[in-house]
Structure 1
Amino acid sequence: MGPAWLWLLGTGILASVHCQSLLAHGDKSLQGPQPPGHQLSEPAPAYRRITPTITKFALRLYKELAADDPGNIFFSPVSISTTLALLSLGAQADTSALILEGLGFNLTETPEANIHQGFRSLLHTLALPSPKLELKVGNSLFLDKRLKPRQHYLDSIKELYGAFAFSANFTDSVTTRRQINDYVRRQTYGQVVDCLPEFSQDTLMVLANYIFFKAKWKHPFSRYQTQKQESFFVDDRTSLQVPMMHQKEMHRFLYDQELACTVLQIEYRGNALALLVLPDPGKMKQVEAALQPETLRKWGQLLLPSLLDLHLPRLSISGTYNLEDILPQIGLTDILNLEADFSGVTGQLNKTISRVPSILQDRNTGF
């Protein structure tokens, strides 16, 4: 048998969507009056230990993707960070620390166990049922039938990440690839298809993450007010004719004079929203350079309801990133070399991560 390869796969259709419930504080008005000095407070959810780090990781990754290949960028930081954190459970101490520190965690301030409990809390919160939107995040591990995975690892990924492990015959790479693609397609209701590229018979493991989001706008766009074609300017010299949705509605909005950009928040039904940022002509790099968690917090405080005459293009995005080329640029170099130790998965000698593709598919902004 040739060298053993470990694949890491992230798939999804989640773009710039942020669940408000992840930032909302408990409504103390519902607790009733409390005697002085005996104020009751709900303990902070465990996910609050990790969401600031995920936000910073998302912005670091975005800037690297933008520098590497300017153009449309579409990825799910929750998918990628969750998959890497899950992988760290199967790594020995040094490699596990490299992964979590590469994501941006300070292991002195936030112990490893707290990080995994934070991801467990985050995934549980995202999975809470809602009658107004659907958000589904899943992780699955496909292991070659020749491997004997450690039961402790299987128990840990199921308890903390809700991940299921499946036995597969990787010597029949064509059939196994089809089976994994079919599994992800079913889990995402047919929206994510052919997510797994071809792989060799030396592959022994595939770790897959999928994420599915579907919701309607709080203020729907009328299909009858969607112009068939309008000019959308890509840059000063290039314009495209695209379908443009139109409405006059109240939305939270601001113009940031310092950064020279317009910021618009559009709500979905349920606890989700989209944040759109439109730089002034020639100011894209300036805005990208200023993207920090503090910037997002500032915008959240300054957004005010405004009656807008809104024109928004309908869009559909899909793309593939080879993250093994990107992750080393943001501090995750050593997980891709022969020294990385993932023997915690099966107890066998090191398995090398050969590829980290991320395949994203989105239908459109919709009505």
Structure 2
Amino acid sequence: MEKLIPVALLLFAVMHSGIVSVNGKPAVPNPRQQSAFKLVTANTKFALHLYRQVASQPSSAGKNIFFSPISISAALSMLSLGARASTRNQLLQGLGYSNMSQNDAAEVHETFKCLLQTLTREGSELNLTIGSALYIQQGFVVKPKFIEDAKQFYKSEAISVNFMESDKAKEQINAFVSKKTDGEIQEFIKTLETSTVMVLLNYVLFKGSWEKPFNPRSTYEADFHVDDTTTVRVQMMTKSGTYDSGYDSQLSSFVIRVPYDGNASLVLILPAAGKLAEVEQNLTITNFLHFFYSLRPSYAGLHIPKVSLKESYKLNEQLSSMGITEMFSRDADLSGISESEPLTVSKVTHEAVLHIDEKGTKAVAVTGAEITLMSAFSQPEHVFNRPFLLLIVDHNIKSVLFVGRVLNPTI
């Protein structure tokens, strides 16, 4: 029986968000963005599908949720560069790429390159950093094309490390993650198997400043109703202004878009009382696009709690439920990475951090895969004082950068 070498896929993201304004409907993607449009649709579909999987897990009951789907998509898409046969097909289909030239992997990578260039282009007001890294065991032979393609399409860098000295390797990788996430994620790697030959990382850092900052002097203490029997005290920010908002009857939710400086917004979804679980399971790409384009400007008072979240996930089970199973098994074909020994993915982990305050938002996420040998007048008041959903969305191509659920802002 062949011995499988594990590969770790690790993903992290950090986000600081502030509000960005949009005048009217978001612009239709220009010709340069058209090639990425189908990919964004696939990524959004994947993001909402993964959210439903995470929310339905018993381990998520009563907990906040926050992750960066674009970090996870980028990491898994980069991994697919080295996957072959049914392993690659499962990855592409699970990521929602089945409508792209009949799973043409080359188109996936070309369009991902275009997407990353669009999101991080020079001169953009969107303060977003996305990158990847491959930590490779010293002496382990990796195909040059895999490394070259990872660099070309996913802005990855290759770094040599000795996983046999697991403590030193862990320290080296964690220092890299800490640097890339402004110190928000300092101990991403908790343990490393000595049989690990590669750790694949993707990181996302977003810093957003509100287009119209909240006045700290207006922040007040208020009740937040976690459930029918639990109430906590929170710091509630408030500001009156004109926001794109509306009530979505399909989701039984009030939706409001709070803009950042630049081409992004924080989209807040407040389900009707008792409807949270129903809304989560009905949050599909069709519903997402419906409410995104149906919002209309109106003047109102907005009340949202200050939030600081740090969430981590091992995604093997959720991804398997979405049809991505083979890469975790003895049937994995990762021969596009190396043919020296059979490889398998031992774990996919993700960690994300979110801070929302009067100045804006900071969000960070990391994804990793470990590969081993196998107001003053009458106005509407929108008060987010019970569990709500949030998305951070790029305006130009509607890319979902982060998605989450705030059940309790104090934990």
- Is the TM-score greater than 0.5? yes
Residue 72 of structure 1: how far off its partner (Å) = 1.1
Alignment pair present for 1:296 and 2:285: no
Match of 2:277 in 1: 285
Cα distance between partner residues in 1 of 2:73 and 2:254: 29
Verify the 8 A CA contact 1:172 1:201 in the aligned structure 2.
yes
Alignment pair present for 1:215 and 2:208: yes
Match of 2:51 in 1: 62
Residues 74-85 of structure 1 aligned to structure 2 (within 5 Å): 74-85=66-77
Residue 346 of structure 1: how far off its partner (Å) = 2.2
TM-score of the superposed pair, with normalisation by structure 1: 0.90
Verify the 8 A CA contact 1:251 1:264 in the aligned structure 2.
yes
**Bigger Rg, which one:** 1
Match of 2:381 in 1: none
Cα 1:366/1:183, change in 2 over 3 Å: farther
Residue 146 of structure 1: how far off its partner (Å) = 2.1
Alignment pair present for 1:353 and 2:334: no
Letter in structure 1 aligned against 2:318: I
Match of 2:198 in 1: 205
Cα distance between partner residues in 2 of 1:306 and 1:343: 55
Match of 1:34 in 2: none
Alignment pair present for 1:49 and 2:25: no
Letter in structure 2 aligned against 1:182: A
Cα 1:47/1:14, change in 2 over 3 Å: farther
Residue 12 of structure 1: how far off its partner (Å) = 0.3
Match of 1:8 in 2: 9
Cα distance between partner residues in 2 of 1:138 and 1:346: 22
Letter in structure 2 aligned against 1:241: R
Residues 322-361 of structure 1 aligned to structure 2 (within 5 Å): 322-361=314-353
Verify the 8 A CA contact 2:8 2:347 in the aligned structure 1.
yes
Alignment pair present for 1:116 and 2:117: no
Residue 366 of structure 1: how far off its partner (Å) = 4.3
TM-score of the superposed pair, with normalisation by structure 2: 0.80
Verify the 8 A CA contact 1:3 1:202 in the aligned structure 2.
no
Verify the 8 A CA contact 1:130 1:270 in the aligned structure 2.
no
Verify the 8 A CA contact 1:49 1:115 in the aligned structure 2.
no
Match of 1:39 in 2: none
Match of 1:256 in 2: 248
Match of 1:94 in 2: 86
Give SS of 1:50's match.
Answer: helix
Letter in structure 1 aligned against 2:292: G
Residue 289 of structure 1: how far off its partner (Å) = 2.6
Give SS of 1:253's match.
Answer: strand
Letter in structure 1 aligned against 2:7: L
Residue 43 of structure 1: how far off its partner (Å) = 6.0
Verify the 8 A CA contact 2:234 2:306 in the aligned structure 1.
yes
Higher RCO (CA < 8 A, seq sep 6+): 2
Provide Cα deviations, 1:140-199, integer angstroms capped at 9, x if missing partner. 000000202111111111111111111101111101111111011112222222112211
Verify the 8 A CA contact 2:19 2:259 in the aligned structure 1.
no
Cα distance between partner residues in 2 of 1:296 and 1:91: 31
Cα 1:119/1:365, change in 2 over 3 Å: farther
Residues 132-281 of structure 1 aligned to structure 2 (within 5 Å): 132-227=125-220, 229-281=221-273
Letter in structure 1 aligned against 2:28: H
Cα distance between partner residues in 2 of 1:155 and 1:17: 36
Cα distance between partner residues in 2 of 1:125 and 1:338: 38
Cα distance between partner residues in 2 of 1:172 and 1:344: 26
Alignment pair present for 1:317 and 2:309: yes
Cα distance between partner residues in 2 of 1:85 and 1:333: 15
Cα 1:7/1:44, change in 2 over 3 Å: closer
Cα 1:348/1:163, change in 2 over 3 Å: same
Provide Cα deviations, 1:200-236, integer angstroms capped at 9, x if missing partner. 2111110011100001011110111111x21011112
Moved more, 181-190 or 267-276: 181-190
Residue 83 of structure 1: how far off its partner (Å) = 0.4
Letter in structure 2 aligned against 1:100: L
Q: Which runs of 5+ in 1 are unaligned?
A: 28-41
Verify the 8 A CA contact 1:230 1:241 in the aligned structure 2.
yes
Give SS of 2:92's match.
Answer: helix
Verify the 8 A CA contact 2:7 2:196 in the aligned structure 1.
yes
Residue 94 of structure 1: how far off its partner (Å) = 2.6
As a proportion of its length, which structure holds more strand?
2
Q: Which runs of 5+ in 2 are unaligned?
A: 360-411
Cα 1:335/1:365, change in 2 over 3 Å: farther
Match of 1:36 in 2: none
Alignment pair present for 1:305 and 2:297: yes
Verify the 8 A CA contact 1:17 1:275 in the aligned structure 2.
no
Residue 333 of structure 1: how far off its partner (Å) = 1.3
Cα distance between partner residues in 2 of 1:115 and 1:185: 30
Letter in structure 2 aligned against 1:89: L
Root-mean-square deviation (CA, aligned residues, Å) is 2.1
Residue 239 of structure 1: how far off its partner (Å) = 1.0
Verify the 8 A CA contact 1:342 1:350 in the aligned structure 2.
yes
Provide Cα deviations, 1:319-359, integer angstroms capped at 9, x if missing partner. 11110121101111111101101121122222121111111
